[in-house]
Amino acid sequence: MLSLGSPYSFLGLERSEEAFERARVVLIPVPYDGTTTYQAGTREGPRAIILASKELEPFDEETLTEPYLTGIFTLNELDVTVSSPEEMVLRVAKVAGSVMDLGKFPVMIGGEHLMTLGMVKALAEREGTGWGILHIDAHADLRSEYQGSSFSNACVMRLALDYAPIVSVGIRSLTKEEFDFARSRPVPIFFCHDILKNPGLLDKALELLPEKVYVTIDLDAFDPSIMPSVGTPEPGGLEWYDLTGFLRKVFSVKTVLGFDVMELKPIPGLTAPDFLAAKLIYKLIAYLSLSTAVRL
């Protein structure tokens, strides 16, 4: 799992056996977009995020911390097979499980959202039941199948329901079938237009989550005016402080088991979205280190 052949790392931090041993957080880059539903290119997301991260300031002005001190290590990009999305999910589950077994906090950088299923599978094998998934996205991803396949980016949350309950936040695009399915399970959905009218709904979403949560973020949850670099940009969406404020609450009152940031599709010459994604990851690591310190 730990090969030091790749020259890049988040923030440009050291990559060595010793650095891996010291690290609390391990990043898993997954450059895969085999089942994307509109525009391909999210396979380039992990590399763009890691490149942009080198321009981040190591000091976080909100938490007044230096999150890198918690120890951040970047694994090599996961080897990709284009022949089988199921095999890719299993590869993610295997690597993520190894990271978890070593007592590290796993963070996946995507890549397409289907790969979240690998993280969920690895957690389910170790946590059993009693935990849940906070799903932040523009799309419900609850289809039973898409383009003839049930193993698709558009079906990932429906597949994840086999492992843990889900609360979805920021949704603004779904089919009638997905809407009816969500009501029947139930899967609580907090639509973006409702949140923007009543931000207090985010507190309700928080109340519905169990004590232990996995956080999965599709970057198209953001308004495309600040995050155009996604495969399927939907009008409207959450702003930076809307989402980070909510996530800080999540990290402060829940035990977060891991998270992912998915679906960056870099646009050549437009680096602001790459930087936003990198800063979001670093911000969540800041919230993690702060919440851990408070609990200690």
- Closest residue by Cα to residue 177 from 144, 139, 138, 135: 144
CATH 3.40.800.10 fits 25-295, yes or no: yes
Q: Before 237, cis peptide (omega within 30)? A: no
pLDDT, tens digit, for every residue of 232-252?
999 999 999 999 999 999 999
Domain boundaries, the chain: 25-295
Residue 270 neighbours by CB distance under 10 Å: 10
Q: Is 90 left (phi over 0), alpha (psi -120 to 50) or beta?
A: alpha
Q: Percent of the chain having pLDDT more than 90? A: 87
pLDDT, tens digit, for every residue of 186-236?
999 999 999 999 999 999 999 999 999 999 999 999 999 999 999 999 999
pTM: 0.95
Judged by DSSP in three states, 161 sits in coil
